[in-house]
C-alpha cells in the first residue's frame, strides 16, 4: 500500500428546492460527505430559507451523515457548501487478494448477501461461468467492472427507482445506479463484499447532462474498501463519498414524508482545486487501486 503525497481538494456545493404542501413534511437528507481518516470535511455551511432547525447525525456503523428537518408549507430551499480533502491510499492491484469469508471483518459481512436491488443469488451461475476461473482479488473485481461496462449501455430514462440488477442485465441499458447494482450483485455472487456508494460524478462528460449525484461501487479486497466506477463516466480520484449501503434503497439523497414537489433538479457542483504549490493535485485516472476508506491501513 502506498500513499499519494498530494491531496485532492474538492469544493462541494449542493442546492435543492421543494414546494411543501400543508401541513408540512419531514425530510431525511444524505448530502453531507462522510468523514473518514482519508476524507476530511471542513468549512461546512448549511443555508435554509425557512426558519427551521436541522439536525445532523452520523450512523456509527456506516459513517453516513443524515440531516433531518421538518419543512413548513411553502417553498423550501436547501443549500450546502463544504471543502472536502481526499488523501488517497493506493495499492498495486496484484497485491490485493480476495479475503476468505472466515477472515472478513464484521463490518464487511453484510455486503456478501443478496439485497433488494442486487439479487446475487440469481446470478450465481453467470458469475461463476464468467469469472469463476479467474485469479481472485482486485483483478477479478476489475474484470467484473469491465464486463459490466461492456454489456450495459449508458442511456438515460431506460430505468427507474425500482430497476434491479437482473432487470438491468436483461435490458442491457441503464444509468450509474444500474451499473453499480449489477456489478455489486456479480461481486457478491463470487463472495466479494461489495457496497453501493453515493457521491458526486466528478469528471463526467458534460454530454451526459449537468453534474449530479453519482453511484459507484466499493469492494472489499486486500486490506479494505476500494473504489470502482462501473459506469466509467467519472474520475474515481475525484469522487466525494457521501453514503454507503447494501443498495440504492439505503442511501437515497432525500427521503420525504409528506406531499412535496421538487421545484428543480438537484444542482451539484464539485470543483477540484488545482494548486500543486499548496499540495493539492487534480484528480486523474490511475491503474492503481484507490481508497478513501478508514478500513485501509
The domain locations on the chain are: 2-87+253-278, 96-249
Residue numbers in the chain where pLDDT is lower than 50: 1
What does the alpha-carbon distance between residue 290 and residue 92 come to, in Å, rounded to a whole number? 9
Angle, helix 176-189 to helix 124-131, in steps of 10 degrees: 80
Question: Is there a cis peptide before residue 23, judged by omega within 30 degrees of 0?
Answer: yes
Which residue reads 481472485 in cell numbers? Answer: 136
pLDDT in tens, 93-133: 999 999 999 999 999 999 999 999 999 999 999 999 999 99
Residue closest to 39 by CA, chosen among 219, 242, 248: 242
Q: What is the pLDDT of residue 238?
A: 95
Angle at which helix 138-151 crosses helix 124-131, to 10 degrees, equals 110
Q: At what angle do helices 138-151 and 176-189 cross, to 10 degrees?
A: 140
pLDDT given at position 204: 85
How far is the C-alpha of 135 from the C-alpha of 194, rounded, in Å? 18
What does the pLDDT look like over 142-182, one tens digit per residue? Answer: 999 999 999 999 999 999 999 999 999 999 999 999 999 99
d(CA 59, CA 73): 29
74: left (phi over 0), alpha (psi -120 to 50) or beta: left
Separation between Cα atoms, residue 54 and residue 192, nearest integer Å: 38
Query: What is the structure's pLDDT at 297?
Result: 54
Sign of CA dihedral 246, 115, 176, 249: negative
Alpha-carbon torsion (195, 199, 203, 208), positive or negative: positive
Q: Which CATH class is domain 96-249?
A: alpha beta
- Residue 280 DSSP one-character state: B
Beta-carbon contacts of 56 under 8 Å, excluding residues fewer than 6 positions away, are 32, 65, 66, 67
Region 2-87+253-278: CATH code: 2.60.40.2250
- pLDDT for residue 5: 65
Amino acid at each position: 500500500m502506498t500513499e499519494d503525497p498530494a491531496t485532492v481538494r474538492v469544493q462541494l456545493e449542493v442546492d435543492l428546492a421543494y414546494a411543501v404542501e400543508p401541513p408540512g413534511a419531514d425530510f431525511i437528507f444524505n448530502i453531507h460527505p462522510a468523514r473518514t481518516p482519508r476524507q476530511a470535511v471542513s468549512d461546512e455551511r448549511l443555508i435554509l430559507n425557512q426558519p427551521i432547525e436541522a439536525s445532523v447525525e452520523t450512523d456509527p456503523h456506516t459513517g453516513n451523515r443524515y440531516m433531518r428537518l421538518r419543512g413548513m408549507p411553502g417553498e423550501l430551499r436547501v443549500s450546502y457548501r463544504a471543502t472536502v480533502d481526499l488523501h488517497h491510499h493506493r495499492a498495486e492491484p496484484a497485491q490485493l487478494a480476495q479475503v476468505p469469508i472466515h477472515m472478513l471483518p464484521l463490518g464487511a459481512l453484510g455486503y456478501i448477501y443478496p439485497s433488494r436491488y442486487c439479487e446475487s443469488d440469481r446470478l450465481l451461475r453467470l458469475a461463476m461461468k464468467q469469472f469463476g476461473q479467474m485469479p481472485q482479488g482486485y483483478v477479478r473485481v476489475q474484470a467484473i467492472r469491465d464486463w459490466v461496462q461492456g454489456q450495459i449501455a449508458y442511456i438515460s430514462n431506460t430505468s427507474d427507482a425500482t430497476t434491479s440488477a437482473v432487470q438491468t442485465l436483461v435490458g442491457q441499458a441503464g444509468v450509474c445506479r444500474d451499473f453499480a447494482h449489477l456489478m455489486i450483485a456479480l461481486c457478491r455472487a463470487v463472495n466479494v463484499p461489495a457496497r453501493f456508494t453515493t457521491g458526486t460524478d466528478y469528471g463526467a462528460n458534460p454530454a451526459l447532462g449537468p453534474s449530479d449525484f453519482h453511484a459507484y461501487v466499493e469492494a472489499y479486497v486486500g486490506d479494505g474498501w476500494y473504489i470502482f466506477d462501473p459506469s466509467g463516466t467519472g474520475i474515481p480520484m475525484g469522487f466525494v463519498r457521501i453514503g454507503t449501503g447494501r443498495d440504492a434503497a439505503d442511501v437515497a439523497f432525500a427521503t420525504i414524508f409528506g406531499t412535496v414537489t421538487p421545484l428543480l433538479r438537484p444542482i451539484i457542483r464539485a470543483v477540484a482545486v488545482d494548486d500543486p504549490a499548496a499540495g493539492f493535485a487534480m484528480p486523474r485516472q490511475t491503474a492503481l487501486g484507490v481508497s478513501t476508506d478508514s478500513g485501509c491501513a
